[in-house]
Amino acid sequence: MVDLTGGISEFIDLRDKRKIPSNLFQLLETSYKMKTLMGAAISPPERASSNEVQLLNGLVGGHAYSITGFKEIQLRPARVELVRLRNPWGHGEWKGAWSDHSPEMKQLSRDVRESLMFQDKDDGEFWMSFEDFKRNFDKLQLCHLQPDAVIQELEDNTDKQMWYMSIYRDSWRPGLTAGGCGRAPSPHLMWRNPQFFVTFDPPNPEHRSTMIVSLMTKQLDLKSSLAIGLRLFKLKQNGRLPTDRSAQQKVLKKYLQPLEGSPTFSYDREVTKRFSFKPGTYVIMPCTYNPDEEGEFILRVFTEAEADSGTMDKILFSFDETDAAVRDGGESLKDLFNKHTSGDQTMTARNLKEFLNTAAANKLQETVKFPLEFCKSLVAMGANETPSSLTFDDAKRIWKELKLIVEVYKEFDKDNSDAVDAFNLVAMFSKLGLPESGVSLNWSVLACVVQRYGGEDNSISLVDFIMATWKLKFVFKTFQEESTKKGEIGGNVYWSRNEMLKMSMLL
């Protein structure tokens, strides 16, 4: 049904009768009102000679039935819960209580039977009590439809309601957002997984809202190589979770209350979980069982009531243009500048490359080979007076910022291997600026950084880190300048095609 309709599939195991939820009838009745398609099946008897076996009560073992209705009727001294099913063969019906020819059905008034749309004929459709349904059926499948599902039978039923749906496409990227399930020896990596929030705010604070979450992976040949699952947390305090993921593990007890996730991680294409919540903000974390497993996924969230939802995708990222912690001896830096400049006391891209390589060796004891193309970009982005060359003030400013970037990188390159795990990028970027500046970088952009500058093992070299950081800095600065100049608000700036092309050529 999922492939046919594009809906969310949910399975309920009825074999262990002691574990059947006490509110199952209400759950199914509500889902039916929300355009959910349902089916139920009976397992074939053990050592049966065929896949489908006719049972004495009229049902067929090893066979599936569609569920077409629910009804509660008042019979003294209690109410009776009924469920209507249909045999896809178009004949063969239940012979027990509330069947077509049963005493229970015959005792009903004509009006009640009409409300049940009762027809006394062997057409494969029949009623039975919900208690008999639970005793006889072993499996229950629900397919919750998207709001835009086109099914004529449901469109014609104006009594049906609709689910509110949010859909997110994301991925687990080794070295970046593939954090695993949080098991030892690396439980802290779990916080690198993509995270999504859902906020319920109904008028009645005691009202519980239903949420159904589906996690589906992209597969080849309908085979899954990933064990996937869902983790869920409730935000204890009002407001949003701090967006600095590097600090989330430290504030877990303060901000988050772990809730039930998927009982086990499975290799199924789709994992679905149903939740019922009071008002509040909840965090959904799709994850694989093992860290550093690559895959793409679709997360769909169906809610009974309208809810606010989105991605927890912002990390703090900023730069201080007047960083006082980076200091150089003006005399020696000036000497280096003079040594690598042209006769007019300006520096070209080729001069800048030699200047930076020498400065890194002399002042940082680092062998850094800056690519000429990157130096051309530095000249184009960093020149204040002439677009093709740098003055001493330009070069000094560039050096100070590059020096800070190198120093931050070396903090994480503890073995001097010139390879830092991309998992550290969040903390590295945070060290390059002040959180209160409020400049944000979302995880989809960070994934592009790893895709463009990361190695095959998702590590970042010093030169690649410098180039990525500098480009991000330039784009952020340009965005802020344009936003101020054009008076744009809300985090959006309109750029013409030529303006966009001009900035792209400078990178």
Annotation says 63 is catalytic: yes
Helix orientation angle between 462-486 and 497-506, rounded to the nearest 10 degrees: 150
Where does residue 346 rank: exposed (0-12), middle (13-18), buried (19+ CB within 10 A)?
buried
Strands (E) located in 130-255: 139-144, 164-172, 196-200, 209-217, 228-235
State which amino acid sits at residue 192: R
Q: Given 23, 51, 57, 63, which residue is catalytic?
A: 63
* Gap between the Cα atoms of 51 and 320, Å rounded: 71
Q: Given 23, 87, 290, 362, which residue is catalytic?
A: 87
Other C-beta atoms closer than 10 Å to the C-beta of 226 total 23
CB contact at 8 A, 351 and 340: yes
To the nearest 10°, report the CA torsion of 448, 452, 455, 456: 70
Structure tokens that stand for 201 in this block? 């705010």
Annotation says 87 is catalytic: yes
Q: Omega into 77 within 30° of 0, i.e. cis?
A: yes
Other C-beta atoms closer than 10 Å to the C-beta of 308 total 11
The structure tokens 């993921």 sit at: 245
Positions marked catalytic: 63, 87
